[in-house]
Amino acid sequence: MAETIANILSIAGSDPSGGAGIQADLKTFAARATYGMAVLTALTAQNTQGVSGVHLVPPAFVAAQIADVFSDIRVDAVKIGMIASAEIAEAVAGALSRHRGPPIVLDPVMVAKGGASLLAAEAVEALTRRLLPLAAVLTPNLPEAAALLGEAEAADRAAMEGQAKRLLALGPRAVLLKGGHLPGGESPDVLATPDGLRWYEGVRVLTRNTHGTGCSLSSAIAAELGKGRPLPDAVAAAKSFIAGAVRSSDALAVGSGHGPLHHFHALWA
C-alpha cells in the first residue's frame, strides 16, 4: 500500500510576487513532497522592493475557510503566518481550538523584508495570548522575538538563549529562534524545548535573494512534522532545504529588490 501523502494547511497572507506568504508556503509544501492547502488572511500589494498595500480578509470569513477545510480534509499539520489584526488572531485561534490534533507551526510575521509593518500593534497581545499556547513550535526571527518580549533585539548567542527560554514560558511547546540577523558570517538558530536547548549551525549566503525565507522555513518544518518527523529532525531537514534554496536563488531572475528563494532547486537541477 502506498504511503499516505501528508496534507499541510497554511493560514497566511498572499504575496502576488510569489516570493513569500501563501505562495511561498505552497511551493515549500510541494517541494517537501506534501499536499498544500491555503486559508488567506490578507491580500497584499507587493513586489521584491516592498509592500504598498494590505487588504484584510474579514475575520469571520477566515474562520469559515478553516472550518470548511477541516470539515472535509484530513489536516496533518498547520502553519500560521501573517495574522495582521487582533480580530483575525481571535478568529484563527477559535477555529483551530476545535481541532487540537495537528501540530501548529506559528511564524509571527510582523515586518516585511522591505520594512512595512504586517502586524498591527494591538494584534501582538492577541497573538501572544491566543495563538502561542496552540503552537507546537514558534519560529520568530530576532526582531520578532524582541517585539513579542518587549525587549532589545538579541545581539549574541547568550541573549538568544535567554530570549528563547522566555518565549517558551509564554506557552508554545517549543521555540525556534532564528539568528539570521546576527552580525558575522554565521546564521545559527536555537531550538528551545522543555528538555533544553539545541543549536543548528548555518553559513550565511551572500545574496539579496532572501525574500520569503522565514515563511518557507516555517512551512518546511510544518511539512516535515506533518510527515511524522520528530521536531528536532524536522527543523534540521527544513534548515537544510532552506540553505539549498538560498544558495540556488541566483538562478532565478525575479524583480530588482529582494528576490525569492529557489524552492525547487532539488527538482529542477
From first to last of its 269 residues, the chain has per-residue pLDDT tens of 457 999 999 999 999 999 999 999 999 999 999 999 999 999 999 999 989 999 999 999 999 999 999 999 999 999 999 998 999 999 999 999 999 889 999 999 886 555 556 677 778 889 999 999 999 999 999 999 998 999 999 999 999 999 999 999 999 999 999 987 777 777 889 999 999 999 998 778 878 888 999 999 999 999 999 999 999 999 999 999 999 999 999 999 998 999 999 999 998 87
Whole-angstrom distance, CA of residue 33 vs CA of residue 207: 27
Flag whether the pTM goes above 0.85: yes
Which is catalytic among the residues 215, 227, 239, 259? Answer: 215
Give the number of other Cβ atoms within 10 Å of residue 208's Cβ. 14
Whole-angstrom distance, CA of residue 267 vs CA of residue 269: 6
Which is catalytic among the residues 44, 213, 244, 259? Answer: 213
Is 214 an annotated catalytic residue? yes
SS3 17: coil
pLDDT value for 113: 58
Query: Which sign does the torsion angle of CA 226, 7, 105, 244 carry?
Result: positive
Comparing C-alpha atoms, which of 207, 214, 172 is closest to residue 25? 214
Is 215 an annotated catalytic residue? yes
Which is catalytic among the residues 19, 21, 212, 244? Answer: 212
Whole-angstrom distance, CA of residue 241 vs CA of residue 266: 9
> Cell 525569492 appears where?
260
Is 210 an annotated catalytic residue? yes
Q: Which residues pair with 260 in a beta bridge?
A: 211
Comparing C-alpha atoms, which of 163, 268, 227 is closest to residue 32? 227
Which is catalytic among the residues 178, 179, 202, 244? Answer: 178
Q: Which residues pair with 116 in a beta bridge?
A: none
Contact 93, 63 (CB under 8 A): no
CA-to-CA separations, 183 to 14, 197, 204, in angstroms, rounded: 30, 21, 10
Comparing C-alpha atoms, which of 181, 214, 177 is closest to residue 192? 177
What residue spans of 19-118 are helical by DSSP H? 21-31, 59-72, 86-96
Is 28 an annotated catalytic residue? no
Which is catalytic among the residues 210, 226, 244, 259? Answer: 210
Give the number of other Cβ atoms within 10 Å of residue 197's Cβ. 16
Is 213 an annotated catalytic residue? yes
Which is catalytic among the residues 19, 81, 214, 244? Answer: 214
